Structure 1
Amino acid sequence: MSDAEDIDDIREKKKEKLRSMAGAPDEPVHVEGGTHLEELLSENRLLLVDFYADWCGPCKMLEPTVEEIAAETDAAVAKVDIDAHQDLAQQYQVQGVPTLYLFVDGEPADRMVGVQDKSTLVEKIEAHA
């Protein structure tokens, strides 16, 4: 390898390390209110928001998938309890749970209602990565 190639290789490794250090949390973050959601939207380029309810069976089925998405993709994952945060559910017109929003650069890019399989969610996230 030439010196230029060595330098490029070192730069690439440093970039990867910085990305991993400044990356999205590797587990879902429970939203504590509207201000907290706004902070998450501003801090994360890709944010998957799971609007759920504790009493919802399909939401419980989706939970392991959402946890895997948080651990394995570049997207941060936020969970919003619609019973505790009815204002947010109303703001985002959540009429059924689970409802998932994918935000890119703070703007809604996709809305999905019902249980989604992991491959569909990963595909939608990677399309914006």
Structure 2
Amino acid sequence: MPMNETYATSAPSRDEVDALDGYTLLEFGTAWCGHCRSAQPLLHSTMADRDVRHLKIEDGPGRPLGRSFRVKLWPTLILMRDGQELGRVVRPTSTQAIEELLSHADSA
């Protein structure tokens, strides 16, 4: 599945995310966040050729989805399978960290 390029300003509900089947990578951040921008090339290279749904969600104070996952720093990447969190990476600085997270989806 292709990687999303922009952060969605309207997020699904937690119930909707928990009901998704298969693998989903949630990416919480903002377009103006320097750490988020730095992570984009890393995500592009690791998401290529992977069959993982990618939801790129704009986060911030008062955003209920990010709060339900206790997101505190951006970007936060959360890999889920059938509504269950398998792992997360906060502020990745290398493709290795993202590869390790996504390896859960590769081994299925």
TM over 0.5: yes
Give the distance between the partners of 1:36 and 1:71, measured in 2 at CA. Answer: 26
Give the distance between the partners of 1:73 and 1:66, measured in 2 at CA. Answer: 11
After TM superposition, the score normalised by the length of structure 1 is 0.65
Code of the aligned partner of 1:117: S
Say what the alpha-carbon RMSD is for the aligned residues. Answer: 2.7
1:67 aligns with 44
The 4+ residue runs of structure 1 with deviation greater than 4 A are none
2:76 aligns with 99
| Residues 57-66 or 110-119, more deviating | 110-119
Give the distance between the partners of 1:46 and 1:56, measured in 2 at CA. Answer: 26
Contact 2:29–2:76 under 8 Å retained in 1: yes
Give the distance between the partners of 1:126 and 1:71, measured in 2 at CA. Answer: 13
Give the distance between the partners of 1:63 and 1:41, measured in 2 at CA. Answer: 27
Aligned match of 2:59 in 55, 79, 82?
82
The alpha carbon displacement at 1:64 in A equals 2.2
Structure with the greater relative contact order (CA < 8 A, sep ≥ 6): 1 or 2? 2
Structure 1: unaligned runs, 5 residues or longer: 1-24
SS at match of 2:77: strand
Count of paired positions: 104
Question: Percent same amino acid at aligned positions?
Answer: 21
